Amino acid sequence: MLRLKPKANARAIRRGAPWVFDNELVMDRRSKALTPGSIATLEDAERTPLATVAVNPASRIVGRVLDRDASAQIDDAWFTTRLRKALTLRDSVYDAPFYRLIHAEGDGLPGVVIDRFGDTCVVQPNAAWAEAHLEVLTDALVAVTGVSNVLKNAGGRGRALEGLDDVDAVLRGAAPDGPMPVQMNGATYMADLTGGQKTGLFYDQRDNQGFVARLAGGKTVLDVFTHVGGFGLAALAGGATRTLAVDGSAPALLLAEDGASRMNAADRFETRQGDAFAVMDALAAEDTRFDVVICDPPAFAPNKPALDKGLRAYERVARLAATLVAEDGYLVLCSCSHAADLNSFTGACLRGIGRSGRWAQLIHTGTAGPDHPLLPQLAESGYLKALVFRL
């Protein structure tokens, strides 16, 4: 049992807020003794039951709301229902089983990310309760989706905050022998499910990459922070005459080159390994210009303490990238930092573009696709922003 303090906002929980912080709760000896990952009933200050929550007294987020039914049983049937609801949404949107199946709080499974790659699912249990219930979650996942292979990726940043390890595992079946080809927007991406970043591929930019592909026909493209090909391969599928992909990771660029080869577009695809800022400086010194420039960096502002520094980094990216865009060309600037909201990110981008001496039209604002549903009561679930400017 967990109980809110008298001044805590019980109304927010009733209206769908998914997190309960330590300073909102009566953390007495009994509450502090609850096992991380255990399930409890959340009560308001008058002891009226509010919800069923997952508990971790060692985390600042002590309670994660699992069900607004305070008597809910978190068992196989409960997991099956949540997974089926999530699968129904994806099946209505995508014609192939390659997508984010579970987007944590957005799909009612707080702290849990599941990406699907055909017959294989990669699970990130980033909260103690998910780790504690991983076996039943895996059983339900196999039953609902019919996949043969389930992998555990323990590389999520949140796991350390929950007191969890960083040990990956094969939960069902077997890991793939090597990178797996994934088709999106007419492009082929090679997803490394065991050695790549996150779960092996970022599905969240799919719709934004599709928009850029429509702009790229007959144009030259620079894709900075490309990872395994990101926007650059989508641009090739859209008819770009040449794409230069930049990333600091040599293994990621090799995967991008493999994807371009499988698309029969290797002759239009170049890579350059190095620090993104240094490469953009060098390209500017070479007086090189591109019709389309995309910058999709890692999270420069992963939390509020890093916000000011992160916004300065986004401004610098915008300034350097804008100098590389040809007249009437397009600049695509992205952020996956949930601490930087759309207004602050847009402001940083406009300051950078202004400092470059360019004039911009904002023609498109993008977010993550429908396989990354946003929980309106949790801003962090809508982390992705993509701005397309014409300069």
Which tens digits make up the pLDDT trace of 73-121?
999 999 999 999 999 999 999 999 999 999 999 999 999 999 999 999 9
Phi, psi for residue 224 in degrees, rounded to 5: -100, 140
The half-sphere exposure of 82 on its side-chain side, counting CA atoms within 13 A, is 27
- Spatial distance between the Cα atoms of 318 and 362, rounded to a whole number of angstroms: 13
Chain centroid to CA 198 = 9
pLDDT higher than 90, residue 197: no
Residue 70: count of CB within 10 angstroms of its CB: 15
Residues in the chain: 391
Contacts 24+ apart (CB under 8 A), 384-387: 384/204, 384/205, 384/334, 384/335, 384/336, 385/334, 385/335, 385/340, 385/342, 385/345, 385/346, 386/205, 386/208, 386/296, 386/332, 386/333, 386/334, 387/332, 387/333, 387/334, 387/345, 387/346, 387/349, 387/362
pLDDT band at 6 (very low <50, low <70, confident <90, very high): very high
Distance CA 385, CA 365 (A): 7
Q: What superfamily would CATH give domain 180-390?
A: Vaccinia Virus protein VP39 (3.40.50.150)
d(CA 179, CA 182): 9
| Cβ atoms < 10 Å from Cβ of 77 | 10
Residue 198 region, left (φ>0) first, then alpha (ψ -120 to 50), else beta? left
So where are the chain's domains?
2-67, 76-172, 180-390
User: How far apart are alpha carbons 147 and 169 in whole angstroms?
Assistant: 16
Residue 156: pLDDT band (50, 70, 90) is confident
CATH homologous superfamily, domain 76-172: RNA methyltransferase domain (HRMD) like (3.30.750.80)
CATH class held by domain 2-67: mainly beta
Sign (positive or negative) of CA dihedral 325, 341, 206, 197: positive
User: Of the ranges 29-33, 335-339, 359-363, 376-380, which is most confident?
Assistant: 359-363
Task: Answer for the pair 111, 127: CB distance below 8 angstroms, yes or no.
Answer: yes
| For residue 220, pLDDT beyond 80 | yes
Say which residue the tokens 């797996």 belong to.
180
Question: Distance between CA 250 and CA 260 in Å, rounded?
Answer: 15
pTM of the predicted model as reported, rounded to 2 decimal places: 0.95
For the chain, list the strands marked E by DSSP: 2-3, 19-21, 38-43, 49-55, 61-67, 98-103, 112-117, 120-125, 149-152, 169-172, 180-184, 187-191, 220-224, 242-247, 269-273, 290-295, 325-335, 361-366, 385-390
User: What is the identity of the amino acid at 15?
Assistant: R
The rounded mean pLDDT for the chain is 96
pLDDT above 90: residue 380: no
